[in-house]
């Protein structure tokens, strides 16, 4: 996969099946299809975007826009397409979306053990702001990270 081939678009309800496939191959405690459907259909603050390469979905990102904040609730890349810059591209997309909408803060949570995701977030300017005790269903702690958006910076993409 070449990063230049990636096209990001708003997810449609037809994309949920593929989103669930990527979710299931990415997490040991994946969200079930119904949770995605309810969030997609009924949560007015939720927005989902997919990254396609030659019309195949290789990644998705879910965000909630909450007042002055953009909360990244999910980001995953199809295992076969990882380490090609797609995760960083999706994160940059969300940061640029925040800039375009004049949102000043982006935040997200990650498992304490998820070094890969934390490395990505650190490298994109996120900083830890809160330890989340037993945040996940299996009792693992989480970490909340945030990035303050500078309106002076040009959007990346």
Say if CB 37 and CB 30 are below 8 A apart.
no
Active-site annotation holds for 67: no
| Nearest residue to 49 via CA among 60, 40, 57 | 60
Q: Which two tokens stand for residue 14?
A: 């037809």
Pick the closer one to ligand COA by CB: 42 or 76: 76
Where along the sequence are the contacts to ligand COA (CB under 6 A)? 26, 75-77, 82-88, 110, 114, 116-117, 119-120, 123
Quote the CA–CA distance of 49 and 91 in Å, as a whole number.
Answer: 11
The rounded Cα 10 to chain-centroid distance in angstroms is: 13
Catalytic-labelled residue, pool 109, 135, 136, 140: 109
Pick the closer one to ligand COA by CB: 29 or 102: 29
Pick the closer one to ligand COA by CB: 12 or 25: 25
Strands 105-111 and 69-77: what pairing?
parallel
For the bound state, the minimum distance from the C-beta of residue 140 to ligand COA, rounded and expressed in Å, comes to 12
For the bound state, the minimum distance from the C-beta of residue 102 to ligand COA, rounded and expressed in Å, comes to 25
Active-site annotation holds for 135: no
For the bound state, the minimum distance from the C-beta of residue 3 to ligand COA, rounded and expressed in Å, comes to 9
For the bound state, the minimum distance from the C-beta of residue 89 to ligand COA, rounded and expressed in Å, comes to 7
Quote the CA–CA distance of 61 and 75 in Å, as a whole number.
Answer: 4
Quote the CA–CA distance of 28 and 32 in Å, as a whole number.
Answer: 12
Residues belonging to the active site = 109, 121
């Amino acid at each position: 996969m070449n990063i230049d081939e990636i096209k990001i678009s708003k997810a449609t309800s037809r994309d949920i099946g593929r989103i669930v496939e990527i979710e299931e191959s990415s997490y040991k405690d994946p969200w079930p299809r119904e949770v995605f459907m309810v969030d997609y259909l009924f949560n007015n603050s939720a927005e989902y975007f997919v990254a396609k390469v030659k019309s195949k979905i290789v990644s998705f990102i879910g965000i909630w826009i909450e007042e002055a904040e953009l909360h990244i609730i999910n980001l995953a890349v199809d295992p076969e397409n990882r380490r090609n810059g797609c995760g960083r591209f999706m994160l940059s997309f969300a940061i640029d979306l925040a800039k375009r909408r004049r949102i000043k803060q982006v935040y997200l949570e990650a498992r304490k053990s998820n070094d890969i995701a934390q490395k990505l977030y650190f490298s994109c300017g996120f900083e830890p702001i809160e330890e989340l005790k037993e945040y996940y269903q299996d009792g693992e702690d989480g970490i909340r990270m945030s990035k303050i958006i500078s309106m002076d910076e040009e959007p990346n993409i």
